Amino acid sequence: MVLQTHVQINTGALIPSIGLGTWQAKPGEVQNAVCFAIKNGYRHIDAALIYGNEHEVGQGIRDSGVPREDIFITSKLWNTHHPNVAEGLEQSLAALGTDYLDLYLVHWPVRLVPNESSALLPVNPDGTRSIDRSWDMNETWRQMEEVYKTGKVKAIGVANWSIPYLEDLRKSWTIVPAINQVELHPFLPQHALREYCDNLGIRLAAYSPLGSTGAPLMSDSQIQAMADKYGVPPATILISYHVNKGVVVIPKSVSEARIASNREVVSLSEEDLVELDAMAANGKAKRVNTPLWGFDLGFDDWYGPIKA
């Protein structure tokens, strides 16, 4: 099988299949990681306002010496900015030091109301998250369409949107989201969401492909056995899984050796892809990202705590 180096989105643009994730990269780490990654062939960086490191990410991009227009930059509208998308966007543009993004995503279908406790992660006096459950996500998307029309973002999309949320958004969208960035790996293959998005021309992007902090999926015996068979590290199997399926994948690393090896993908046999696809159904289902938003986000398998 010929592996796709790029994935085409509904604007016609091509996204490099493998991007560098930047969440939880500590201060002083991500600038070098981004610069190293770009010098070593990455052309796709996944950022977000809430990661608190976009200024370093932007510096790393400039340090690489590779022209801005050769790099695909994604950022995300944070939950506190649903009523003022243009303002959230400006903050990311300023931090990154660029005048446009290649892709801007609504980070979660959740609106947080800022208060004196915090500008980005506000809580109520009782300690629960300051969530506005009455907020209409269609209004957020209307504003996303407005910023798209300004040319400051070349494509718009969503992250963490389940089928019921997309169904609701469909009632009003005039621009179909280009991407739905979700947690995706063999323990959480999201087959129904994938089929749904495929039918609408929405591409999936896989976050936490290694299982997030500490890369726990790498120690699974089936993944390890497959890695041994191909003579590659387990991370390569987990990243190749997506590239073989035409899905964008954004592994995070701040280690130069791992950044380099994470781009080296292999062609997996049909049989092995079927095995990886079936792992969750065969008893290994697990979602690793379950933030306390206080309500069910509509994923079939969402079993995160429902208390805020």
Ligand X SMILES: NC(=O)c1ccc[n+]([C@@H]2O[C@H](COP(=O)([O-])OP(=O)(O)OC[C@H]3O[C@@H](n4cnc5c(N)ncnc54)[C@H](OP(=O)(O)O)[C@@H]3O)[C@@H](O)[C@H]2O)c1
Instruction: Write out the catalytic residue numbers.
Output: 51
12 or 58: CB nearest ligand X: 58
Q: How far is the CB of 124 from ligand X (least distance, A)?
A: 22
CA distance linking residue 114 with residue 124, whole number of Å: 10
Going by C-alpha positions, the residue among 86, 77, 215, 230 that lies closest to residue 157 is 77
Give per-residue burial for 199-226: e unless 16+ CB within 10 Å, then b.
eeebbbbbbbbbbbeebebbebebbeeb
Q: How far is the CB of 159 from ligand X (least distance, A)?
A: 4
If one asks whether residue 251 binds ligand X (CB under 6 A), the answer comes out as yes
Per CB under 6 A, the list member of 5, 172, 213, 269 interacting with ligand X is 213
Contact call for residues 264 and 23 (beta carbons, < 8 A)? no
Residues 252-271 that bind ligand X (CB under 6 A): 252-255, 258, 261-262
If one asks whether residue 190 binds ligand X (CB under 6 A), the answer comes out as no
Per CB under 6 A, the list member of 58, 109, 157, 209 interacting with ligand X is 209
Contact call for residues 95 and 55 (beta carbons, < 8 A)? yes
Instruction: Give the length of the chain.
Output: 308
Residues 40-59 that bind ligand X (CB under 6 A): 46
Contacts of 110 (CB under 8 A, 6+ apart): 79, 131, 293, 297
Per CB under 6 A, the list member of 9, 16, 18, 22 interacting with ligand X is 22
Q: How far is the CB of 201 from ligand X (least distance, A)?
A: 20
If one asks whether residue 289 binds ligand X (CB under 6 A), the answer comes out as yes
Per CB under 6 A, the list member of 27, 52, 214, 305 interacting with ligand X is 214
How far is it between the farthest Cα atoms of the chain?
56
Per CB under 6 A, the list member of 159, 178, 179, 297 interacting with ligand X is 159
Locate the DSSP E strands across 170-247. 179-183, 203-207
Rg, the chain, Cα only: 19
148 or 207: CB nearest ligand X: 207
Per CB under 6 A, the list member of 16, 21, 58, 88 interacting with ligand X is 21
What is the CA 62 to chain-centroid distance, rounded?
22
If one asks whether residue 158 binds ligand X (CB under 6 A), the answer comes out as no
Going by C-alpha positions, the residue among 212, 211, 182 that lies closest to residue 197 is 182
Residues 94-153 that bind ligand X (CB under 6 A): 107
Per CB under 6 A, the list member of 202, 215, 237, 280 interacting with ligand X is 215
Return the residue matching tokens 């429902």: 306
Q: How far is the CB of 158 from ligand X (least distance, A)?
A: 9
If one asks whether residue 160 binds ligand X (CB under 6 A), the answer comes out as yes
Distance set, CA 121 to CA 24, 110, 154 (Å): 16, 12, 28
39 or 258: CB nearest ligand X: 258
Residue nearest to ligand X (CB): 21
CA distance linking residue 228 with residue 193, whole number of Å: 31
Q: How far is the CB of 232 from ligand X (least distance, A)?
A: 10
Chain residues binding ligand X by CB under 6 A are: 21-24, 46, 107, 159-160, 181, 207-215, 218, 233, 235, 250-255, 258, 261-262, 289
